[in-house]
């Protein structure tokens, strides 16, 4: 899996990294049990500091996407808490849909975009 960081972005590097790994999982490029590079290797690879990678990994661990093991390094391990996931989804969607509604985007148009994104992810 390739990681691309936009250094001119306002989004923090560790957030970009976190999101790209989540994208990798959503598109099945990363699967349960897969190893990620070590914090030092990935930091070197991208050209950033080890602590920035470590921060991304730590957050991914807290959010239930990774397990960090001294033996195996960072391993994809999804902790599926569906109720919690749906409540987080709801909170995030509220903000985004509010903006869309202000701009007169209809409910069916939103559903359409949701389906399109879903298809993107399924194709990888």
Partner DNA sequence: AAACTGTTATACTTTATGTATAACAAATAT
Partner DNA sequence: ATATTTGTTATACATAAAGTATAACAGTTT
Q: Is 70 in the site for DNA (CB under 7 A)?
A: yes
Instruction: Kindly write down the DSSP assignment for every residue of 56-73, as one continuous string.
Output: HHHHHHHTTSEEEETTTE
Residues 6+ apart with CB under 8 A from 27: 121, 124
- Partner whose binding site includes residue 18, from its own copies, DNA, none (CB under 5 to 8 Å by kind): none
Among DNA, its own copies, none, partner that 77 touches (CB below 5 to 8 angstroms by kind): none
**Token reading at 21:** 């790994």
| Secondary structure of residue 40 in the 3-state scheme | helix
Of 10, 32, 116, 123, the residue at the interface with DNA (CB under 7 A) is 10
Size of the site for its own copies (CB under 8 A): 42
Stretch that binds its own copies, among 1-9, 41-49, 51-59, 111-119 (CB under 8 A): 111-119
Calculate the dihedral angle through the C-alpha atoms of 115, 26, 43, 33, rounding to the nearest 10 degrees: 180
Instruction: Give 122's DSSP letter.
Output: H
| Minimum CB distance to DNA smaller for 77 or for 105 | 77
C-alpha 91: how far from chain center: 17
Interacting positions 29-68 with its own copies (CB under 8 A) = 64-65
Binding site for its own copies (CB under 8 A): 19, 22-23, 25-26, 64-65, 78, 80-82, 85-86, 88-90, 92-105, 107, 109-111, 113-118, 120-121
């Amino acid at each position: 899996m390739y990681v691309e960081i936009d250094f001119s972005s306002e989004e923090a590097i560790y957030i970009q990294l976190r999101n790209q790994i989540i994208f990798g999982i959503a598109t099945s490029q990363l699967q349960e049990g897969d190893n990620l590079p070590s914090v030092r290797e990935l930091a070197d690879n991208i050209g950033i500091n080890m602590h920035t990678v470590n921060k991304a990994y730590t957050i991914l661990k807290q959010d239930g996407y990774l397990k960090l093991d001294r033996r195996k390094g960072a391993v994809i391990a999804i902790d599926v808490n569906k109720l919690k996931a749906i409540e987080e989804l709801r909170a995030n969607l509220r903000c985004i849909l509010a903006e869309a509604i202000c701009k007169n985007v209809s409910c069916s148009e939103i559903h359409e975009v949701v389906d399109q994104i879903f298809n993107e992810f399924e194709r990888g």
